[in-house]
Amino acid sequence: MSENRLLKYSKFIEIMYIAVILILILLNCSTAQVATCTDDANNNVDWFLVYKPPNVVSSNIIKSAVNPVWAQSARNVNDDNGHSIARTLAHFTANNGDIKVLAYSDDPPNLPPRNEKSKAKGVLLVHSGADDEAAWFVHTVPKFLAHLGGYSWPATETAKGHMFLCLSLSKANLNSVAKAIRYQEPYIYANNLPAALLNLHNELSNLVTGVEVRVTPFLEHAKFTTKAAANIEAFGKHTKSFADTRSKSICKGQYQLRKIASPMQFAGSQVSREADSAKWAVVDGKNTVCLTTNDYKVGEKKIPGAAVCLENAGLYNAFSTAAEFLFGLQNIVTLKDTLLDCWGVSTPL
């Protein structure tokens, strides 16, 4: 091959190489950037719950499906890739211009405990463009989820059991979610929600700017649906609700919840309540499961409270298996007094 032809061939190879690199860059940039719940396989899902038993980093997931059941997570919770939590929060732990975020916790990562009153912990993801996408992620883990700090699991929390709930939402429900969170008096440790978005959602703006709750009742009970129309009820209990007779009056009802014995069989594991920070309840007669970040102690009636409840028959059945371990009829309680009683508990689940 002549020197001239060899030079032309080398130039051709160089041009093709550059073209391939450009195509790969374009493909990467065009990958969908979504603000939704995502499962282990990176599929968008309407909702999921993940449970991590005490003393392990493995977990189980139950997600929206025709017949939802518990399944082993593909990866451990301390893996930064391939787990539903890491995938869902990928646009929170790393920068993404299209996905805006708000995160709150009484004990955020890389900071000392910030709020001794509220136990609320969670993240909001919102697509900043025209896509009608948002997600609400609620969890029970201290020192978890640093904004733009990469995904990292706090090793000190491995000894405890923890639970995680993710809901895929339409932006129309952001006000309902934000108002419920605001009544929980959260400490916001990360926020880049743009002014244009806040102008469209007044309650979201109130949450971000710290507008105080001044008008009774000091309880918020929001009802909305996920993207796929699963019924959600979100509760927020303000500190002032303890002394507010109107708040107490709206908390009375006839729902029955079960207090669960220890140890219990849950998601394939035998779990001691004492080692478990996952806080949940099943609501008899409503096919509903509730997750809260409070400890269900009598003293916590005077602090802000939160509960997020999801109605789904399959989910209810999966949780009811654990709730079958009862002490007796004296453990059936009705809704009364403060919102903690509305959730049907006065001792740990």
pLDDT of residue 202: 97
Residue 146 pLDDT class (50, 70, 90 cuts): very high
Residue 32 lies in a domain: no
Residue 347 lies in a domain: no
Tens digits of residue pLDDT in 82-131: 999 999 999 999 998 899 999 999 999 998 888 667 889 999 999 999 89
Contact 58, 85 (CB under 8 A): no
Task: Please tell me the total count of domains within the chain.
Answer: 1
pLDDT of residue 23: 41
Residue 348 lies in a domain: no
The continuous run of DSSP H or E covering 29 comes out as helix 3-29
Residue 31 lies in a domain: no
Tens digits of residue pLDDT in 37-78: 999 999 999 999 999 999 999 999 999 999 999 999 999 999
Query: In whole angstroms, what is the distance from residue 128 CA to residue 334 CA?
Result: 42
Total residue length of the chain? 349
pLDDT of residue 326: 43
Range of the structural domain that residue 295 is part of = 37-342
pTM of the model: 0.82
Residue 57 lies in a domain: yes
Residue 276 pLDDT class (50, 70, 90 cuts): confident
- The structure tokens listed for 224 are 């909305």
What is the percent of the chain where pLDDT is above 90? 53
Residue 192 has pLDDT above 60, yes or no: yes
If one counts every other C-beta atom within 10 angstroms of the C-beta of residue 171, the result is 17
Residue 212 lies in a domain: yes
Query: In whole angstroms, what is the distance from residue 135 CA to residue 183 CA?
Result: 19
Q: How far is CA 159 from the centre of its chain?
A: 20
Residue 267 lies in a domain: yes
Tens digits of residue pLDDT in 13-33: 555 555 444 444 443 443 457
CA distances from residue 319 to 281, 290, 316 in whole angstroms, order as listed: 8, 10, 5
Residue 215 has pLDDT above 50, yes or no: yes
Residue 203 has pLDDT above 70, yes or no: yes
Residue 20 lies in a domain: no
